[in-house]
Every structure is written in C-alpha cells, then in structure tokens.
Amino acid sequence: MTGRSAQMMILASLLLLLNGVCPAGEAGGTPAVRGASSGMVNYFTDNGFGNPVSTLQHPCAERYKDVTYIAYQGPHEDPFVCAYDHAAKTWSGPVKAGENTMGKTPDAVDPKDVDNHGRPAIIVDGKGYIHLIFGGHGGSYSLGINNLGTPGNGRQTHVVSKNPGDISSWEVLDNVDPFGTYSQFVKMDDGDIYLFYRHGSHRSDWVYQKSTDNCRTFAPPASLLKHKAQESDRNIHDAWYAWFDKGKGDTITASYVYHPCRVMGHTKERYNGYYMKMNCADDSWHNADGKALSLPVTKEYADENTLVFNSGTERSNHGTCHVDNDGNPHILFRMGKGQVRYSRWLGSAWQAPVVVTAESRNQDGDMIVESPLSVKTLLSGGGELRWWNTSDGGLTWAKGACLISSTEAGYVPGALVRNGGPGGWMVVSEHKAVQNHLFRNLYLLGDGGPVERAEAGAGNLGDRLKNLEANPPAPKTDKAEKKKHKKSADSGDGDE
C-alpha cells in the first residue's frame, strides 16, 4: 500500500467516525452501518420512551417465519409493536398493543418520573399468535393480597394478537398473576411456554408459570428464589435479580445475583453470581454439578449450592446465560465499574470471571455460544455496540465488528433477538447525552448495521416532539447534571 493510499484510508475512517459510524475492515468482517439511503433513516421508530428495551425483560424481539416482531415501551410507557419482513424488506407498525397503568399524562421529561419496569416481553406461540407481557412493577395494593411478596405499582398484563402473525389488533388474556415485574418468556421445543418474573416489588419471590396450550392458560405461580428478612437485621431482606433462558434439550437455565434490600435506606447493591437449571420433564432443579436442589432457594442455600463466584464487597449485576452443545453454561455478569465479566462451567468447577473489555464503562449485552471455547458477545458501551470474540474459552477477548456508534449518544441493548441472525441480531435504543425529552430512536441491528426504514414510517411523534421542544425544561449546566446526563446516555438511567 502506498503512503498516499494509507493516508486516504485513515482520512476515510476519520470521516466515518465523525458521522457516528464504525470504520470498515475491523475484526469480524462486515463494515457497520453507513449513511442511510435517500429518503431512509437508520432507526425503525422514534417513539421509544424512557428506557424502551432492556436485557432483563426478554425477549423484546423474535424472528418467526422470516418476520422479526419487536416489542418496546412507547409513549406513556404503553407497549408498542413493530414488525420487519426480511424477505420483502418492509416494516409495519408501530401499533399500540395495550395500556400500562403506570403511564403518565402529559409526557414526562424527568427520567425519575418514568417507572420503566413495565417494558414488554414478547413471544410467538406454536400457532403464530404473538403474546406480550407488560405493565407490572409488582402490582399495586389495590389488586389484593400478594402472598409471595410485596406489592408495588402497575399490573402485569398479558395481551395476544387477534390473528396469527398480525400486529394490527390485540386482546387481553386475563390469565397471569398481576403481581409481576421483569417478565421473561422461555419457549421450549415441544411448544410449552414458561413465564418467569419477580412476584412483586423488591422484597418478593421469583416465580414461574407454565403453559402447555400456547399461553391460553397458565399453571399457578411456583416459587424459585425466596425473599425473607435476615435474622440478624430485620431491616435487610434477601432479594434477587434473575435471568432465564432455554438450555440444552428440555432444560431451562437461571443465572442470578443477590440484592440485600433495605427497607429503610434502600440502595441498589447487588453481589455475587449464581446459577441453576430446570429439568422440564419433571420440574426438578439442579446446580451446575448435577445436585438436586430444594425450592424455593434461600440466600444461605444459594451460597452453599449454586454460587458461581463471591464478589465480596465488589458489586455485581445480572447479565445473560447460554449453554454450549454439551449443555454447559456460559454466563455474563456486570461488575465493578459497569464492565462485563464472563465465566463458564468447566465440568467440575466455575472458571474465574474474566473482564471481556475494559475499554468502556456501563457495558451491557448478550452473547452467542458457538462451542465450549468459541463465544461472541455483543456489548454496548462507550457510545457503540460491537462484538467481542474469544476462541480460548473466555481467557482472552478480541475486538470484533462494530454495528453502530456515535460521539453524541449511548446505546442501551435488549437481549438478542430470539431466532435472530445476521439480518437482525439485537434491538437497541439511542440515549443522547443531552436532550430535553425522553423519546428514543430504536434500531434493529444486523451484520450490516441498522436495518433501514423509510423516514415517513419511522417518524411517529409528530407534534408531540415539537411541543416538547418548543417548551424545553430549564437547562442543566452544573457538573453534577452533566455527569448524570452522560451516565444516562451510557446506561439507560439505571432503572432496575
């Protein structure tokens, strides 16, 4: 390569970066998104609201019969749905699918006024009907007695499309417990669908309900992780944050972290990492070493039987968990300064957690386990979303392809699209460091970056945004506010 050619390539990469785009030719191959085509934009809607998606409420998207269905939190925290037909390369929606009782009017402009816990999870059943669970932050006291936890706010609600594969009309199915939050769907190969959630606000059990008839009915809640006051300090209750996913064959994995929930002087402290799995054939649960477990699991029992690592005084946070072809689990946890760490089961012990990348803070994302030694993580942080790859079982990690980046915004990811692929791996929301409203652009990211949409279809706010911009809140100029806005752009305001 001549000196002039090298200079031209460097200049081209700098121009791409200035336009919020990752340079081509990085490890991983495919260049990330370039400028949108004429009349097109890179986002599929502009009406995401607050923190529209999260890795915790999942899936937020599923690809079914070559259509990716996406659920997210829109205006007034209500659930909205869009769909992308990969063969026709056409978008439909957004369509409002239900009412979230926690939404406020008029539009909130302060992040503290948005609950966010009622974001929707989505699943497509065996007959093609689309289901959403949304709207709960533990369920309000007006709903009655919560025997498995403490009520909070909202109502966990289940809606289903009136027709298979059709997002245009919806109806409520009143068949799940209303005392829920952090709703998560897991669909098995035989068509059974499990709904996992926390049965109330912080001081509540984690439970599941099982459906064998495409979510038309559910069994009563069964407790998995028990909340309780500590004997030594009744002000502190043992509580949890958990993440569930399909394992190998007829199994379900659970990875979770511990939350010492203080009644007075509450904090967001979380510690340690834990793992167990369910055998759906007989509803039994086991640890990674195959030992049968007694339910519900308490803090003391978890420390003895399901501990992946003890974080000591260093805080941890939930991540995601997937298994390899041998059924062995691979886990991501967020720890320390918001950096993702990876561990895997070696057959007789857990590998010590390894930092995937220290390039940025407030990281989050998901992963694909290709083999026991080959894993790809898709992580947000530092104003970008990119792959990080390992070929030695997580001991070392190499930077992979970047799918989107910006010098003015951060990206908050959902979990990987269920049955997704190169045409659409993940849905992310864009959080600008400084803006006078809480509406977010949403992107479906594939190997080529964001999937484009006609600007007329992606613009759904109309006068709503114009009115907010015409009456902006008072400017925040002090250092503390600037720091808060920067953290918000990176992490989605940390509403958990």
Euclidean distance between CA atoms 60 and 53, whole angstroms: 7
Kindly list the catalytic residues.
Answer: 117, 182
| Coil/strand/helix, residue 333 | strand
| Coil/strand/helix, residue 96 | strand
Euclidean distance between CA atoms 431 and 118, whole angstroms: 19
Euclidean distance between CA atoms 83 and 257, whole angstroms: 33
Region for 214 from its dihedrals, namely left if φ exceeds 0, alpha if ψ lies in -120 to 50, beta otherwise: left
- Amino acid making up residue 307: L
376, containing H or E segment: strand 375-381
Cα angle 102, 383, 412; round to 5? 25
| Coil/strand/helix, residue 324 | coil
Given a contact cutoff of 8 angstroms between Cβ atoms, the answer to whether 185 and 209 are in contact is: no
Per DSSP, 101 falls in state T
Given a contact cutoff of 8 angstroms between Cβ atoms, the answer to whether 118 and 102 are in contact is: yes
Q: What are phi and psi of 177, to 5 degrees?
A: -65, 135
Euclidean distance between CA atoms 153 and 407, whole angstroms: 36
Sign of the alpha-carbon dihedral angle for 290, 248, 59, 409: positive
Nearest-CA neighbor of 368 among 423, 325, 305?
A: 325
Token pair, residue 422, equals: 């190169």
Cα angle 395, 399, 401; round to 5? 140
| Residue 474 CB contacts under 8 Å (≥ 6 apart), including other chains | none
Euclidean distance between CA atoms 167 and 163, whole angstroms: 8
Which residue in this structure is represented by tokens 């803006």? 435
Given a contact cutoff of 8 angstroms between Cβ atoms, the answer to whether 75 and 49 are in contact is: yes
467, containing H or E segment: helix 463-470
Euclidean distance between CA atoms 428 and 444, whole angstroms: 7
Euclidean distance between CA atoms 26 and 32, whole angstroms: 9
Strand partners, 271: 258
